[in-house]
Amino acid sequence: MPFQNLSPGDVISGGTRMVRAGLEGGKIVGTYGKPALEKSANLTVQAASWAAQNPILVTCAVVGTTGVVVLAGPGLVTAPILSSVGFTTGGIQAGSAAAAAHSWIGNIAAGSAMAIGQSAGAGGSGLVVVNGAAQLGGAAMTMGSASLAWVKAKL
């Protein structure tokens, strides 16, 4: 090991050099970073002011962006939801909402919502259906928010 021959003095000396380098870096950031931080603060204030004056457009932007993310990567939304309901890769999780529904329904019919949920949770063909539904929702969010923003701009 390269650290076997280190003395306490070597460790203290190295630590001192690191602290000095950090302090020097702090001076550099203070000198050259201040203008960038001021511009960033000004931009943040301008954005917050615009958002306060245009709450509907901000909402449309957030909903539309969320819709695009869901449309592009539906698994980002569907995987956590399936897991939280109880549809996991190992089957239905004991004590979950899916387990309660399964005990209430009894035998699961092929092609039913419960069967699709089980398949999706296990990574089977049901995942195509679930992800497709999520993408459809994402597209509706994007188009709806864009339409509302367009109408708002025309009024």
Cβ neighbours for 138, distance < 8 A, ≥ 6 positions apart = 66, 67, 68, 69, 70, 71, 72, 74
pLDDT the model gives residue 33: 78
- One-letter amino acid at 59 equals T
pLDDT the model gives residue 4: 67
Rounded Cα–Cα distance for residues 97 and 87 (Å): 9
pLDDT the model gives residue 82: 94
Cβ neighbours for 51, distance < 8 A, ≥ 6 positions apart = 58
Show the low-confidence residues of the chain (pLDDT under 70): 1-4, 6
pLDDT the model gives residue 59: 93
pLDDT the model gives residue 22: 80
Residue among 85, 82, 94 at smallest CA distance from 119: 82
pLDDT the model gives residue 3: 61
- Both structure tokens of 14: 């190295």
